[in-house]
Structure 1
Amino acid sequence: MAQLLLLLAWGVLTTLTGAVQGSFEVHVSPEAPVVEHGGSVWINCSHTCEDPAAPGGLETSLAKASSKHGPSWVAFHLVNIQEWASAPVCHFVCRGDSRRATAALSAYRAPEQVVLEPLPVMEVGRAYNLTCWVLSVAPVKHLTVTLRQGGWTLHTETFQHHTGAEPSNITVTQEITPLRWDHGQQVSCHADLDLTLHGPLIQKSSSAMELQVYEKKPPPPPTEAPLVEHGGSVWINCSHTCEDPAAPGGLETSLAKASSKHGPSWVAFHLVNIQEWASAPVCHFVCRGDSRRATAALSAYLMEVGRAYNLTCWVLSVAPVKHLTVTLRQGGWTLHTETFQHHTGAEPSNITVTQEITPLRWDHGQQVSCHADLDLTLHGPLIQKSSSAMELQVYDGPRMDDSSCPRNRTWEVGTEQTFSCVALGNPPPAVVCAKDGVPFRGTYHCKASNAHGTASREVTVQVKDGPRMDDSSCPRNRTWEVGTEQTFSCVALGNPPPAVVCAKDGVPFRTGVQWRVRSEDAGTYHCKASNAHGTASREVTVQVKGKWPLL
């Protein structure tokens, strides 16, 4: 019995000696909490002191809403967490010995948007940049962005070395070189914010975008009656159905040939600097001794807007010419009328009538014709004969105006919008628009092109949205010294620019004015921003340092 008591006394002595030396621990749980920005979390502080009521608490700049406690522990509910990174500290005092434990608290924000930059119609074998924006995400070091095409991954990018806890806009770009079988494939962008060690896994994706891929091909064979600009060029394709694909042949023409191409059962010739207004190139082949020919009716009257051309009509072998009237018409009106009452000679003649025309863009598709009237009605018949009508082919380089591509547009946040920009011209121009930086708002650069030129236009898009205030425009915490000159400023972002009104203790406070700081300037200022699209509020705490006046 004496031996048992001795052992018990030694155990008590050891415990007391450990307490005196301060051998107790302080714990914080969770050690690295992750919470949504503006959200809340419970922080539990506990200790191993033999006194379960050892005094202690939690040091933090964050707002505490409530607390709970029990033997050897106390928990605090932190709310409206606005700091992106903070370090709450648990502390207890056990018999004069003070110990502390710190938590690493992080706030996160799910990506506001994941957006793919629009791609143009792409040419096979040409390199293009596929770009994805992940907007307003934090913390970036836990972000993974993946670009996908169909069922496979094109590119994955991580940001574990990114510093800074506040939200950022992230851009990921991957070069792609489309092949013909990529046409119709869908590409997409996927953002994963992986907080699973201490929080959620947040996944967000862009809308899928379908690849539009084309392949450049040799120029198509012209029609049997090709139209070409005077002085221009055209490809004439000659083909045959002989069972011998190498049957000899060629093209007979007075026009200049610049080059040729050939393949099984065909050969094509590039005719250039066409000066004849009407010509008849002849394709010819010989198949096992049998010679065959095919003729094209080539006309040179494809015209440029604003350029002068001669419209010429031949009236062949007519008599007597002095009774002839020749009229040139376009659509329903007369371009020119010519008579020959002073012509001498009774034998048939070939008559040429020419009228200069300067086509405008709306003349495209109009029909012109020539009409010959041989008026013998005093002693004989009225003879009328007309040419075939000819359709004017008028080309025009691209042009863009406010009706087809407005320069200024205003959108509201949350509405469905379509960015359209159309160019006028003949042939119809292709339009490609692009912009740099943050999507949607800003300046778009649009370029229209066809075979006859290019046109450019800048389009500015303004996005109207409600007010927002952050630490860059309206810091929450400020520290001033008594007697210094200070200006209280609080600016809100938004479109249109919001109006900001601040008050302290219910009394409106004028911002943007410099004054000398007094001790009574310390406190909480309530600021409210408003525009047509909403309101936003923010509390600003001002601490004043310096000697207080003696009473």
Structure 2
Amino acid sequence: VGTQTPNDLDGWPRAPFTLKGLGCKMGPPFIRTTSQALLSVFPTEATLPRGGSVLVNCSSTCEEEAFLGLETPLTKEERDRGHNWKVFKLSDVEEDSKPMCFSNCGPNQTLASISITVYRLPEHMELFPLPPWQPVGENLTLKCQVKGGAPRAQLTLVLLRGEEELSRQPAVGEPAEGNATVLAGRGDYGANFTCRAELDLRPQGLGFFQNTSAPRQLRTFVLPMTSPQLETPRILEVGTSEKVVCSMGGLFPASEARVHLALGDHRLNTTVTYNKDSLSATAWVEGTAENEGDHLLVCAIMLGNQSQESWRNLTVYSFPAPNLTLSEQEVSEGTQVEVACEASVGLRVRLSDAPAEPWAPSVQFLLNATAEDNGRHFSCSAALEVAGHLLYKNQTKELRVLYGPRLDESDCLGNWTWPEETNQKLSCQAWGNPVPQLTCLRETDGALLPTGDLRPVKKQYEGTYICKAESPRGAVTRKVFLTVLSECASVRGWAQVGTEILAQEAAAMKLNTQATPP
């Protein structure tokens, strides 16, 4: 029975060592004969782990006492003997060897050899590093290297993706290398690739030994050959901010993509939102006096070892509003008011209601304020061209004119004649700034004039009314005559009433077409 000392089998399974376990063949021994004596050796073949040992039995059929020995450079020890047989132990077998058993029977010598094969597992095996990123749709070459290992005829290199076998090839050369080519796909993202060495000694009655390299993980990606979509303003005023959005679809895996948004050399603070196969990056760009001028706004999206970018020109500009001044904003009727419009250096302005003039650095004119000018708006407009865009800024001011009360025929009709029990509307309005207080009282009894909708007209409304409009700037009065015709009026009277009503309606229509007093 032999023994095994697997000094170099760390990490590999151990197997008990027996003659059968060593793969010793039980066939006829290799014998050289002289005369009648025969020499046999057992086993004729043995497979040992490196550093292992084996027992060798040499026996002779010599009729006399034969002299038996074993020629070998290996460490040997006689373990047992008998009539014409000896058992030797060969230890620390490191390499293949062919020890020779000999027998001297009288003057004749007989020889018989044993073939010892030493097996050893690889000393080093490694799957070469994978690329940090692999584009989907491109071929990936896997390479595995193994140093050591014997016998080579029984050593096989296997490349795997997970548990899937990609290639199987014999170990050839020193070091031995195995290769496999795969078409990278999205499903390979995060896949583990390994290299396995298999030493199959089952035909020799031993075991099946294998070891696997450390796994290497693959990351695949897809970055479309298109530029990102960049939404950004083309011009930006100092003191304002605008949102910039950069987006892209068709990414895999989108969550691994990185975004770089920058205005010139200044990187923007960016918020990125990821979807299944797309992303959207948002940032705010601010216009400051320091970055006034033309700049390049860049968005770059990086995934794997590739990148795509878009860029836009952005002009940061300063545009001060024009200055509109009124010598007085609240004046009495008849006062002269100076209206002036000025622009900042380099700009030109126009002033509404000013005499027609071309754009100029400043515009002004004098106005003799009237009641009609109360509430009048003046607008000062400045223009600036920025990056092909014509921009305008306006400043508006209102003029307030103080004037006394007005109670004219157009504001309050002097004569009203209506049939009794008809539906009518009576209006009487006074104008002025400040707005005057209007009171209309009947001369006879001080009754108020019934203004607004009269539904219906009553005989009791008839009379002569004194209307007075009064404000801090004065007072005006006006008489209003209201006649109500009873139902028993003569036909002539009705005709006269009809004529008066038509006249009143015509006057009312005429008033409705006039401009509303200020």
Normalised-by-shorter TM-score class: 0.3 to 0.5
Larger radius of gyration: 2
TM-score, scaled relative to structure 2 = 0.40
What TM-score, normalized by structure 1, do the two folds share? 0.37
Which structure would you say has the larger RCO, counting Cα contacts within 8 Å and 6 or more residues apart?
2
